């Protein structure tokens, strides 16, 4: 089965923020039961997003939003193939 997953993280601030540095872990893992076929993430305000894999194999997306802003959104879209059948209860 193929799923499209939309994830929105939104922050609204009561006063202007002059810079925002953030890491998010929203990319689905690929393993024996599922495969992340495609993944994208964008921010508003726009920021350059850097990616690394942490010590447990999770994709981490790091970005810095310089300049004054009152709201920050990170929008992730994933395309995931999931195997049929019951999941292994040991997982």
pLDDT at residue 90 greater than cutoff 70:
no
pLDDT digits (tens, 9 = 90+) for 10-66: 999 999 999 999 999 999 999 989 999 999 999 999 999 999 999 999 999 999 999
CA–chain centroid gap for 17, Å, is: 22
Of 42, 32, 41, nearest to 81 by C-alpha is 32
Q: What's the pTM?
A: 0.85
Give the architecture-level CATH label for domain 2-82. Sandwich (2.60)
């Amino acid at each position: 089965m193929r799923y499209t997953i939309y994830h929105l993280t939104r922050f609204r601030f009561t006063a202007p923020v002059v810079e925002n540095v953030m890491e998010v872990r929203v990319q689905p893992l690929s393993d024996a039961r599922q495969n992340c076929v495609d993944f994208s993430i964008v921010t508003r305000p726009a920021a350059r997003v850097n990616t690394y894999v942490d010590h447990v194999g999770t994709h981490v997306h790091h970005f810095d939003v310089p300049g004054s802003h009152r709201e920050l959104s990170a929008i992730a879209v994933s395309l995931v193939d999931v195997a049929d059948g019951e999941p292994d209860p040991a997982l």
